[in-house]
Amino acid sequence: MMKKYLLLVFSLLFGISQSQIIRKYSNEFLNIGAGARGLAMGGAVVSNQDDVYSPMWNPAGLMAIEKDWQGAAMHAEYFESIAKYDYLAYAKVLETGVFGVSVVRLGVDNILNTTQLIDTEGNIDYDKITKFSQSDYAAILSYAFNPAGNTKLDVGVNAKIVYRNVGKFANGYGFGFDIGAIYKMDNGYKIGGMLRDATTTVNFWSVNQKELSTIVNGEEFNPAPKDKMELTMPKLNVGVSKNFEINSSVYVLPEAGINVDFAKTAALISTDFASITPYAGAELGYQKMIFVRLGVNRFQSITDIEDLKRKVSFQPSAGIGIRYRGLTLDYAITNSGIGGSNFYSNFFSLKLDMGQFRND
């Protein structure tokens, strides 16, 4: 029963419905983030992510890659392996900046297709039930640089191409841009900001009306949405961090900030114009080899179903990491954050820093 329920949830979240097609924000799979380090810290890496995973948090962070190239991969599974999330990335240092390319996929397989369950005369035929998959893909090209040679200011840009497929029912293509910056102050503090979907990201859908709809006793069910365009409104993430050295071997790197959605959501502060929620996280490192991380994010005001009272929910996270020469393995565990649920997901990510590997 649990798996059937979760399949229904995902078909509602990712399937094609008229409410989804015309909603003001979409492509939420690109807001999950990438790299177990950032996920373990609750996304508190907007000003301090300094590697190939930066495009998903703030592309300006690519400028921290000093030489050669970096490669990375991450895999995660949600809700008892029903949804699978994968990320691959590569970043290369150039004379004028750092170039990066990333590929993201979130897929849900074995969703029940019951559109043909009932024939035109109203008879039920369970043999007509089939299965389909829903997948979201994105290719991200990134570039980071120091404007006018100012080494205190890093700027980065993402160009995104999105492809979304809902079995044989529909598919959509989209494109958009992100822009980010990190300013390094003389006192050691870093201020970072990323404007996601800066120009809004637009998805254009093509719907297979024949496969989607069902005619029962002359009445049409599941009609195709009339509006085939989907808009992703901008989101702003701003954070401040500083590295505190406890001694020659130990440091603590905390960050705190806010996420701003330019739409009305269930955030703690929510208006018709924008919704604001805080986040915080920290990393404890030992000799830059062993890392322990904690974070909290996604504060929301929700209604408890049992007593109908309003309460605050949040998404906690934690993780560890280990680095040997130029190879880093990170792990994170975090709450899904969907509807105040208690589903926890595990993330594993791997990074190869060829510049550091060759130096060691």
Give 127's DSSP letter.
G
Check residue 225 and give its pLDDT: 59
Q: Is the pLDDT of residue 239 over 80?
A: yes
Helix (H, G, I), strand (E, B) or coil at 215: strand
330 in Cβ contact with 37 (< 8 Å): yes
Q: d(Cα 73, Cα 83) in Å, to the nearest integer?
A: 17
What are the pLDDT digits (tens) for 50-99? Answer: 999 999 999 999 999 999 999 999 998 877 677 889 999 999 999 999 99
The answer, yes or no, to whether residue 219 has pLDDT greater than 60, is no
Mean pLDDT lowest among 115-119, 149-153, 268-272:
115-119
133 or 144, which is more confident: 144
What is the number of alpha carbons within 13 Å of residue 73 lying toward its C-beta? 2
pLDDT value at position 118? 65
Taking the domains of the chain in order of start, what are their residue ranges? 20-356
Reply yes or no on whether the pLDDT at 274 is more than 60.
Answer: yes
Which residue has better confidence, 86 or 230?
A: 86
Tokens of residue 138, six digits: 């994105």
Q: How do residues 241-263 score in pLDDT, each as one tens digit?
A: 999 999 999 999 999 999 998 87
Closest CA to 186 of 148, 238, 237, 242: 242
- pLDDT band per the 50, 70, 90 thresholds, residue 170: confident
CATH architecture of 20-356: Beta Barrel (2.40)
Residue 15 has pLDDT above 80, yes or no: no
Residue 128 pLDDT level (bands cut at 50, 70, 90) = low
Tell me what the mean pLDDT of segment 123-149 comes to.
Answer: 84
pLDDT at 115: 64
Q: Tens of pLDDT along 305-357?
A: 665 666 777 889 999 999 998 999 999 998 754 444 557 788 999 999 998 87
**Rounded-to-integer distance, Cα 190 and Cα 193, Å:** 10
- Whether residue 16 has pLDDT greater than 50: no
Question: What is the rounded CA–CA span in Å between residue 63 and residue 352?
Answer: 16
For residue 340, the model assigns a pLDDT of 44
pTM for the predicted model, two decimal places: 0.82
Is the predicted pLDDT of residue 199 greater than 60, yes or no?
yes
Res. 193 pLDDT band, cuts 50 70 90: very high
- Confidence at 211, pLDDT banded by 50, 70, 90: low
More confident residue, 134 or 72: 72
pLDDT given at position 233:
84
pLDDT over 90 at 31, yes or no: no
Q: Which residues of 7-45 are buried (b: 16+ CB within 10 A; e: fewer)?
A: bebbbeebbbeeeebeeebbbebbbbbbbbbbbbbbbbb
Quick one: pLDDT at residue 290? 97
State the Cα–Cα distance between residues 169 and 285, nearest whole angstrom: 48
* 98-107: average pLDDT: 95
